[in-house]
Structure formats: C-alpha cells, structure tokens
Amino acid sequence: MPTFTHSLAGTPSFPGQRGDVTVDRQPIPEERRLKFRYPLKLSVRFRPLSRSPFSAGGHVVNVSSGGVLVVTDHLLSQHDIRVGSAVGMTLEWPVLLEGKIPLQLFAVGRVVRRGTFEFAATFERYQFRTMRISTPAALA
C-alpha cells in the first residue's frame, strides 16, 4: 500500500497510515481545475446546513485544498442536497496523528454540482479533529 505523503495545502502531514486508502499520484486526465485533485477513497458523513433532518454517508472520490467529490449509495433529491447550498462534511482522514490517534477532517462547503448519487462541493473552511479511540474499557 502506498504511503500518503501529500497533504491539503496549508495542513500538516502526519506519519502513520490507517484503513484501506488508495493514493494515486498521477494527475487526473484532462484536469481543468486550478487545484490538483488527489484520487482518494475516504469514508464521509455529510448533511445540509439548512434545517433539513437529512444526513447520509458515502465516500470521497477525490479531494483538493479547494473541494471534494462525494459519492453515496443514497438517492440525493433536490431537497436533500441543492446546488449553492451549504453542506457539512466529516471525512475519515487516512493518517494517524503521532502514528496512533485517528483524525477526521471536518469541512463546511458549498455544493457546486450534483447528480443522482454524487455531489461536488468547494471548501469554505475546514479543520482537523481528533477522534476518540475505542477501547474495551470504554465499550463496557
């Protein structure tokens, strides 16, 4: 499995690896975006930041410092995810802090395009958050 060595612009890069993350350093053919997209497969949870109770999960297809492409098994209706609407996303990050602490990337962005089972969003702001480590004592 390749080692993840690139990071989003302006974000720290940590040693350690977790999960079955696929990293391909080859550019996406005919790339028209200003920021390089890294083809990654990461788990993601998302929800609109409106008063909608909708939330769902899926996986990231690619990510850059400017945005993300998310695919889900759930049918996305116009009421769930709309172009121009704000969306909150939590991505399971592929590297561990200090080689042992799981990280999540929490991001807020705007939907710029959507399909039946996918949407693309820009990042307006994002931050890394640590995740709790599950231990047998914590589960008891």
* pLDDT value of position 24: 53
Give the per-residue pLDDT at 108: 97
Question: Which of 109, 32, 27 is closest to 68 using CA atoms?
Answer: 109
- Compute how many other C-beta atoms are within 10 angstroms of the C-beta atom of residue 137: 6
Would the pTM count as exceeding 0.75?
no
Is residue 58, in this structure, part of any structural domain at all? yes
The pLDDT tens digits of the residues spanning 114-129 come to: 999 999 999 999 999 9
Do 88 and 60 meet the contact criterion of CB atoms below 8 Å apart?
no
Asked, for residue 140, whether it belongs to a domain, the answer is no
The three-class DSSP label of residue 134 is coil
Provide the domain limits for residue 54.
1-132
Number of domains in the chain: 1
**Residue 112 placed within a domain:** yes
Nearest in space to 49 (alpha carbons), one of 81, 17, 21: 81
In a domain, 120, yes or no: yes
- Is the model's pLDDT at 1 over the cut of 90? no
pLDDT digits (tens, 9 = 90+) for 34-71: 678 889 899 999 999 988 889 999 999 999 989 999 99
Q: Which residues, including other chains, have CB under 8 Å from residue 28's CB and lie 6 or more apart? A: 37, 39, 62
Q: What is the pLDDT of residues 17-41, one digit of tens each?
A: 444 554 555 555 555 556 788 898 9
Q: Residue 139 falls within a domain, yes or no?
A: no
CATH at residue 52: 2.40.10.220
